[in-house]
Amino acid sequence: MIGKIAETKQCQIKDPMDLFNSGQVVKICAPMVRYSKLSFRTLVRKYSCDLCYTPMIVAADFVRSAKARDSEFTTNKGDHPLIVQFAAKEAQVLCDAAHIVCPFADGIDLNCGCPQRWAMAEGYGACLINKPELVRDMVRHVRNQIDNPRFSVSIKIRIHEDLKRTIDLCQKAEAAGVSWITVHGRSVEERHQPVHYDAIKIIKESLSIPIVANGDIKTLKDAENVHHLTGADGIMVARGLLANPAMFAGYEETPLKCIQDWVDIALEHGTPFTCFHHHLMYMMERITSKQEKKVFNILSSTSAVLDYLNDHYGV
């Protein structure tokens, strides 16, 4: 029944800004390298996820190479609302990438939060939080060049040690016409330290556009708590959804029905084995014993995985 409710809701709301104006907290699946691809987005949408992001795509490669476009970006009719996340450092390149996806997606997001060394070395990701004028120009360029006013332009950031700098960045982006800002409440150096939800609250109070909170949200209860702590308009989840794709529908752990749905969707989409298997490892983490994990994690073919699920869980 939950899947039915989610699907009905999906048909009614296609515009991301409509979600933010609905008065409900928007439940969002984060951009995850290798993982937030079409088949996984299809799964979480069945379980009350309102908005999905693609994995981060390097805009310059995407614009330059048809091969990159084919391998990096796949979607279908039911895959809405959809945000395509790009890594970019030049306004025109970001615009060109936005033009390509505009007919197939509902918005783009500029990654200003990825702390990985390669991204920072290339001038992408989190190093952009130190270039507020460049971020402003990139947002403004896309706003001016995409004709569709309902096509959203958002950014995802990390915070500075000095929060005044983050607020300055956000206000510049807001003035340039950014649709919303997702704030991962850690600095570039922080990895597993506690998330600064207080900082997200201050950013929310300093702006008039929607703010999405991100970082360490593992359950629906966590999502509700973070909403109360920050006042955020949306909650973005990464690892929590990998471990339990039915999280937003209120399940404490992955239900067997969700595992069955994943098997059906993955086979239908021709999901590569490694991706199919990895998602199951994450989903079954909490419901399998150490011994079972040892056996399951070394299975090396789709048929072996299907036999195992059938024998142990009747899936």
Q: Is residue 136 marked as binding?
A: no
Residue 178's nearest CA partner among 110, 99, 85 is 110
Q: What is the largest CA-CA distance in the chain?
A: 58
Torsion of CA 126, 131, 135, 137, to 10 degrees: -160
Active site residue 114: yes
> What amino acid is encoded at 7 in this protein?
E
Q: Which residue in 129, 140, 238, 234 sits closest to 182, CA to CA?
A: 234
Task: Name which of 158, 148, 65, 49 is nearest 108 in CA terms.
Answer: 148
Check the annotation: does 64 bind a ligand.
no
CB atoms within 10 A of CB 15: 15
Dihedral over alpha carbons 288, 292, 298, 301 (to 10 degrees)? -80
55 is in an annotated binding site: no
Looking at the chain, how many residues does it have?
Answer: 315
3-state class (DSSP) for residue 237: strand
Annotated binding-site residue? 31: yes
The DSSP bridge pattern shows strands 82-87 and 51-53 to be parallel
Q: Which of 114, 170, 258, 275 is catalytic?
A: 114
Query: Is 26 assigned to a binding site?
Result: no
Cα Rg for the chain, rounded, in angstroms?
19
245 CB burial (10 A radius; 0-12, 13-18, 19+): buried
Which residues sit in the known binding site for FMN? 31-33, 85, 184, 238-239
**Residues carrying an active site annotation:** 114
Which residues sit in the known binding site? 31-33, 85, 184, 238-239
